[in-house]
Structure 1
Amino acid sequence: MRIRLDLSYDGTDFYGWATQPDLRTVQGSLEDALAMALRVPVRVVCAGRTDTGVHARGQVVHFDVDAEPIARARGHSKQPPLDALVRRLNGILDGDVRVRRAVEAAPGFDARFSAAWRRYAYRIADRPELIDPLTRRHVLAWERRLDVDAMNAGAEHLIGLKDFAAFCKRREGATTIRTLLELEWTRTPGGLVEGRVVADAFCHTMVRSLVGCLVIVGEGRRPAEWAAEMLAGRTRDTSMTVVHPRGLTLEEVGYPDADELGAQAERTRARRTAE
């Protein structure tokens, strides 16, 4: 069976998603909990690897397992087996990561390769009265007032299929070409500056670098066209800030209809191979 899990986590106390020796990571914690619940080793695949300190409200993972461990893990529960598994996992995991649901995946589903897009949000408190100690782990406190209209003007230069090398930390053999579908800034009813960032995929530190560029524009230190200049340069500029991960949350992962999942995965794998 292939099982899909939807989960959320506060990334503050994790060293990112991916398993690392002797470090607490989301993947490591989840795999340990699954191994305890199912009494078999399990390897999970996620839709998007989040960096150290980045949060998720809508992370998606899959894992493959025989039906027998799923049935066995139900124990004496009267719940359906996968509902019982969710309850058991949440009883094992620490409170900063929660499994929201578990379902048998549709044929062809792959949490990573079947994904059509990922949506992140970045939240900033840019006035003293907005800085709330109760949300300090999830909202970036910024000392200077930001002009949302200027940030949106800069963002317009970044939308589309482009090479985001200037906004990515290079990885050997990996492409920096991405399709940025949405990049929009608004003020929430509570006054926070909130960015909505949607792309087919993201390279390492891309979202935080995009935000860092547009924050400089929003402060008025650079014109909106500066974002286009940075993009065209295709190299990281030391004058551009990579903002702190605390304001960043993976909100949602989008997938095509069930009958398109396998085809989407094959298209994505083909692109990755071509890279």
Structure 2
Amino acid sequence: MSDDVRPGFVRVRLDLSYDGRDFSGWARQTRGQRTVQGEIEDAIRTVTRSQDTYELTVAGRTDAGVHARGQVAHVDLPQELWDGQRDKLLRRLAGRLSHDVRVWKAEEAPAGFNARFSAIWRRYAYRVTDHPAGVDPLLRGHVLWHDWPLDVDAMNAAAERLLGEHDFAAYCKKREGATTIRTLRELRWERDAAGILTATVKADAFCHNMVRSLVGAMLFVGDGHRPADWPAKVLAAGVRDSAVHVVRPHGLTLEEVGYPADELLAARNLEARNRRTLPARGAGASGCC
């Protein structure tokens, strides 16, 4: 599948961040809800005095209430428009966008770049506190309160069993025609000096609700309600388990998106569009646990 930019247009990479609490997710919707995509597309149209709305493609479509610190998108703009706006676009967008979303960089993308399909990994963080008094009021929009003491070592022991390439159907909201095979590169928990526990979750891609479901399973292990091998057994079963809670979105932040070297972008585009399957166990596939 070709991802060539139309003649007369230039592809622009946007690096951005947003506080997700007042957005109905990333994707523009027909029902009039406020979305990050809609907000930025409208701002670009306004500051460039364009008659057309130029559609954004994003690295990771976040759900309602989820934040982003290192989100990446691209937009194809007419060359003439870009030439006239490149030096002033950031400042103009800063004057037009609401306080809870910012575009930090707007640069011409290298050949073959696609914000979604060129990405080789996404890294999320989920933040939790188990302090008996609850969440610091200054952090309440970004940290989940779990009202049971959490054992970080037990959670990390459970997390290790989930690393690698698996079918994460048990931790994803099913979407017709979409694969749930993912490579989980990193899943670990750390507690900082203030008592905030942060889960770092890094994978080549994520299916719907995957991070929040994994966190929900880890919390059940951390508070002693389930043993450390339970999340891997859920994964092996391959079906949604009603005991796995999808935790609330406000603790989740998209921290960073990784891309390959410029000369590998086009090849990554093609690879990411191929539907994935797991190798048969007889061909050397590893077990889940």
- The two structures have a TM-score, normalised by structure 2, of 0.89
Structure showing the higher helix proportion among its residues: 1
**1:199–1:30 CA distance, 2 compared to 1 (3 A):** same
- Distance (whole Å) between structure 2 residues aligned to residue 243 and residue 34 of structure 1: 34
Contact 2:182–2:206 (8 Å) recurs in 1: yes
More deviation in 61-70 or 192-201? 61-70
Residue 35 of structure 2 corresponds to which residue in structure 1? 25
- Distance (whole Å) between structure 2 residues aligned to residue 174 and residue 130 of structure 1: 38
Contact 1:180–1:199 (8 Å) recurs in 2: yes
Residue 118 of structure 2 corresponds to which residue in structure 1? 114
Q: Secondary structure at the match of 1:2?
A: strand
Residue 161 of structure 1 corresponds to which residue in structure 2? 165
Q: Secondary structure at the match of 1:106?
A: coil
Aligned residues: 265
Alpha-carbon displacement from aligned partner over 1:110-130 (angstroms, at most 9, x marks no partner): 000000000000000111356
- Distance (whole Å) between structure 2 residues aligned to residue 111 and residue 272 of structure 1: 20
Residue 5 of structure 2 corresponds to which residue in structure 1? none
Contact 1:39–1:69 (8 Å) recurs in 2: no
Contact 1:130–1:191 (8 Å) recurs in 2: no
Residue 146 of structure 1 corresponds to which residue in structure 2? 150
Give unpaired runs (5+ residues) of structure 1: 74-80
Contact 1:121–1:251 (8 Å) recurs in 2: yes
Amino acid at match of 2:28: T
Alignment of 1:206 with 2:210, yes or no, is: yes
Alignment of 1:16 with 2:25, yes or no, is: yes
- Of residues 32, 37, 40, the one that matches 2:47 is 37
Q: Secondary structure at the match of 1:144?
A: coil
Alignment of 1:103 with 2:142, yes or no, is: no
Structure 1 runs of 4+ aligned residues shifted over 4 Å read: none
- Distance (whole Å) between structure 1 residues aligned to residue 207 and residue 228 of structure 2: 23
- The two structures have a TM-score, normalised by structure 1, of 0.94
- Distance (whole Å) between structure 2 residues aligned to residue 272 and residue 108 of structure 1: 21
- Distance (whole Å) between structure 1 residues aligned to residue 23 and residue 214 of structure 2: 23
- Of residues 57, 70, 78, the one that matches 1:66 is 78
Alpha-carbon displacement from aligned partner over 1:165-199 (angstroms, at most 9, x marks no partner): 00000000111110000000011222111000000
Residue 266 of structure 2 corresponds to which residue in structure 1? 262
Amino acid at match of 1:117: W
**1:38, CA displacement in angstroms?**
1.8
The 5 A counterparts of 1:243-254 are 243-254=247-258
Residue 91 of structure 1 corresponds to which residue in structure 2? 95
- Distance (whole Å) between structure 1 residues aligned to residue 196 and residue 167 of structure 2: 30
Give unpaired runs (5+ residues) of structure 2: 1-9, 278-289
- Distance (whole Å) between structure 1 residues aligned to residue 269 and residue 36 of structure 2: 24
- Distance (whole Å) between structure 2 residues aligned to residue 130 and residue 101 of structure 1: 36
- Distance (whole Å) between structure 1 residues aligned to residue 271 and residue 148 of structure 2: 44
Contact 2:171–2:210 (8 Å) recurs in 1: yes
Contact 1:38–1:70 (8 Å) recurs in 2: no
Contact 2:134–2:147 (8 Å) recurs in 1: no
Amino acid at match of 1:59: Q
Task: Please report the RMSD computed on the Cα atoms of aligned residues, expressed in angstroms.
Answer: 1.3
- Of residues 223, 228, 245, the one that matches 1:224 is 228
- Of residues 46, 50, 57, the one that matches 2:69 is 57
**1:70, CA displacement in angstroms?**
2.3
